[in-house]
Amino acid sequence: MAINANPVRGTRDFLPKEMRLREAMQSVILDVYKDAGFQRIQTPILEDIERLNKSDGGENLSLIFKILKRGEKLDLTKENLTENDIADAGLRYDLTMPLSRYYAAHRAELRSPFKVIQLDRVYRAERPQKGRYREFFQCDIDIIGDPTNRAETELIHTTAKALSALGFTDFTVRINDRRLLTGLITSSGFAPEDVSSVCITFDKLDKIGAEGVREELLAKGYDPAAVSAFAEKLLAGDADGGIRDLAAVGALSGCPEAAESVAEIMKNVEVLAGERFRIVYDPSLVRGMGYYTGTIFEIASPKFNSSIAGGGRYDKMVGKFLGEDVPAVGFSIGFERISDILSEMQEAGEPLPFALGKPRLALLYDAEGDFAAVLGKAESLRKEGYEVTTVPRAKKLGKQFAALARDGFAAYHIVGEDGIKQLTVKEE
């Protein structure tokens, strides 16, 4: 019986045409990031399980792929074994904790502030569904060592430039601050230790609505007076939901400096954005990671029903490794979601807003001819700026041309004939 050849659920194989798009996207993003002075690094996909478990990753901690101990370290004879007894490593669920560990290990060799790029795969034990995978690609930029909101402004500006280069121009940056959110929750009557649980429920606002949030908080056993006060502040108000006056939020939360910082970031980003995108204060923005300490932000696009980028400030994460806090803030593009959008555009015949690399040319030759001369001709065409593949010439050129066109080739040259010709998809 043949072995199942399908990839593991939640993971995907990519055909050459799909990889061409993904590589072009990565190239576009990398060019923008590098032009802005960010430097690329790489970290292992494996991390120590203790580091992962203590990384404040919110609900993602329950989605870690854990790796069994090996050899003599793995003892399955003990009673009442737990996962942590038999696992000592795991696959990273994002790129932020590995970056924090990396910075702590190499701090003496890095310039401050450290502006860094990470483009790599991460893993979460998700329930597979459209737009959610167990293995997926993230594109992060981070600034470590800058305590000012200049870091947030630069990250938002640079990420917006990358999205614009990918063809997104009608998006909205949503911004909030965890200090404001925490202040609004505790001033409503919730205990400080309840903030995380309240945020988890509040983060479902767009899915279950204001009444659903209220009912879930009551079902958790919280004081009805606190729930009512919280609802009055954050679940009532204008059509977008909640209060929008940052000065009022600063006063209510007891953190006016956070409100002033958000306002300053918005003012600076608006100047840089022009008419390309908007930035709005959104008091309902939560973001799920527990390691965020200040500003948080997401980018929403009408082309997708959820965010296409997100991030925030995590000033306590690096300190877990160094014993002293280091300011840090990052922004991550949702690569898979954007790839899905652009793939659908490509399938629909819509033009992509960027080139998929060099023009591709098929060099057709007779199988009985001088193959060394064929490769020499291919090299000369490559010097002219083409990506060239050599292909034995078929008897029925129409079918061969159609197959090459489907594979993304735009032109061909037949060895021994004059000129480069555009491919036709008409079959014989």
- Residue-wise pLDDT for 78-92, tens only, equals 777 777 777 889 999
Residue type, 200: I
Residue 428 has pLDDT above 50, yes or no: no
Where do you find CATH 3.30.930.10 in the chain? 16-347
Q: State how far the Cα of 319 lies from the Cα of 245, in Å rounded to an integer.
A: 34
Least confident of 128-132, 143-147, 200-204, 408-412: 128-132
The predicted pLDDT at position 341 comes to 87
Closest CA to 365 of 421, 408, 412, 419: 412
Strand partners, 122: 136
Is the pTM here over 0.85, yes or no? Answer: yes
The predicted pLDDT at position 114 comes to 97
Q: Would you state the structure tokens that stand for residue 212, as one six-digit string?
A: 């659903």
Residue 242 has pLDDT above 50, yes or no: no
Residue 236 has pLDDT above 70, yes or no: no
What Rg value do the Cα atoms of the chain yield, rounded? 26
The predicted pLDDT at position 204 comes to 83
Q: What is the pLDDT of residues 253-294, one digit of tens each?
A: 889 999 999 999 999 999 999 888 999 998 888 887 778 999
Percent of the chain scored above 70 by pLDDT?
Answer: 96
Q: What is the pLDDT of residues 95-127, one digit of tens each?
A: 999 999 999 999 999 999 999 999 999 999 888
Q: What mean pLDDT, rounded, does the chain reach?
A: 89
Q: State how far the Cα of 332 lies from the Cα of 334, in Å rounded to an integer.
A: 6
Q: State how far the Cα of 206 lies from the Cα of 110, in Å rounded to an integer.
A: 41
Under the banding of pLDDT at 50, 70 and 90, the label for residue 349 is confident
The predicted pLDDT at position 211 comes to 87
Q: Does domain 16-347 have CATH number 3.30.930.10?
A: yes
